[in-house]
Amino acid sequence: MDTTKSDPTPVHAGYIRRLWPADQSLFCDHLLRLDSESRHSRFGMAVSDEFLQNYAGHCFAHDSVIFGYFVDGLVRGAGELRPLFEAHDPTSDRVAEAAFSVEHAYRRRGVGTELLGRIIRTARNRQASELVMSCLASNRAMQTLARHYRADIRFEADQVTGKLIGRPPNAFTRAQEAFEDSASFATAFVDLQKRLFTSAVH
Ligand SMILES: CC(C)(COP(=O)(O)OP(=O)(O)OC[C@H]1O[C@@H](n2cnc3c(N)ncnc32)[C@H](O)[C@@H]1OP(=O)(O)O)[C@@H](O)C(=O)NCCC(=O)NCCS
């Protein structure tokens, strides 16, 4: 799997780009569309609409990075990375949490695989050494998906904790992320303008 493509990455009918605070309502709507089984797989427990609204309201804070899979202006899938360490503290364990969600109608098209590739590269650029996947040990889809990145992550016995393998970030991976961030920021701004215009004329 190539994790070095430019943004936005076309995935079948849609594309992937980083989400920004302006995309919060789109991200929230995506989470709200997840059925109860998907919510349980994603969060490891049953969660209500109120929980998801509250979650989406807070998840752009701190150093979190979220990628969204867009189809026709809606977020249909997301990959989230949350570093659980202070970037400038060399003594802290460099653990980051990752989570994924793809709506049913958009599954098994490689979206989850693409999102994981982005998350691994982002984690590497932040010099995380461990990726904790907040998913159940029985999650076959997640395990199958992660096998595409055997060269990058090795899973521990519990199947939910991935150790990032060796490869440190380099100038290219960092420059690529910076380039993609600025492109996706501009796209998010244009998308927001479109949504504001559409809601103004209706
Ligand atoms: C896990 C999830 C993100 C995968 O998304 P996706 O877009 O369907 O993933 P992909 O299309 O990239 O599939 C990756 C691999 O998993 C396989 N796969 C997908 N669903 C599967 C399932 N239910 N059982 C077994 N394998 C499955 C695919 O066939 C594919 O294998 P292949 O590349 O060898 O053909 C999605 O199923 C989902 O949102 N599940 C609910 C939330 C969740 O479990 N999140 C994980 C918490 S961290």
Q: What is the pLDDT of residue 136?
A: 65
- Ligand 1 pocket, residue 109 CB under 6 Å: yes
Q: How far is the CA of 139 from the centre of ligand 1 (A)?
A: 9
| Domain ranges (residues) in the chain | 14-201
In ligand 1, which atom is closest to the CA atom of 139?
44
169 lines ligand 1 (CB under 6 A): no
> What percentage of residues in the chain have a pLDDT greater than 70?
87
- Of 11-20, 38-47, 191-200, the range with the highest mean pLDDT is 38-47
Atom of ligand 1 nearest to the CA of 101: 39
Average pLDDT for 64-92: 88
Mutate to test the pocket of ligand 1, among 1, 145, 161 (most ligand atoms within 8 A of CB): 145
Q: Is the CB of 176 under 6 A from ligand 1?
A: no
Contact 68, 188 (CB under 8 A): no
Question: Distance between alpha carbon 167 and the CA centroid of its chain, in Å?
Answer: 20
3-state secondary structure of 170: coil
Cα separation, 25 vs 27, whole angstroms: 5
Whether 36 lines ligand 1, by a CB cut-off of 6 Å, is no
3 state SS of 119: helix
- Quote the percentage of the chain above a pLDDT of 90: 41
Fold of 14-201: Aminopeptidase (3.40.630)
Q: Quick count: other Cβ atoms within 10 Å of Cβ 94? A: 18
Tell me, using a 6 A CB cutoff, whether residue 146 lines ligand 1: no
33 pLDDT higher than 60: yes
Closest CA to 132 of 167, 108, 168, 158: 158
What pLDDT does 10 receive? 58
Closest CA to ligand 1's atom 28:
108
Distances (CA, A) of 7 to 3, 131, 140, 143: 11, 23, 28, 26
Q: Exposed/middle/buried for 95, CB within 10 Å: 0-12, 13-18, 19+? A: middle
Cβ–ligand 1 contact at 1 (below 6 Å): no
- Whether the pLDDT of residue 4 is over 80: the answer is no
Task: From 108, 116, 118, 147, give the residue whose CB has the most ligand 1 atoms within 8 Å, as the site to mutate.
Answer: 108
Residue range 158-181, pLDDT digits in tens: 656 777 776 777 777 777 777 787
In one letter, which amino acid is 188? A
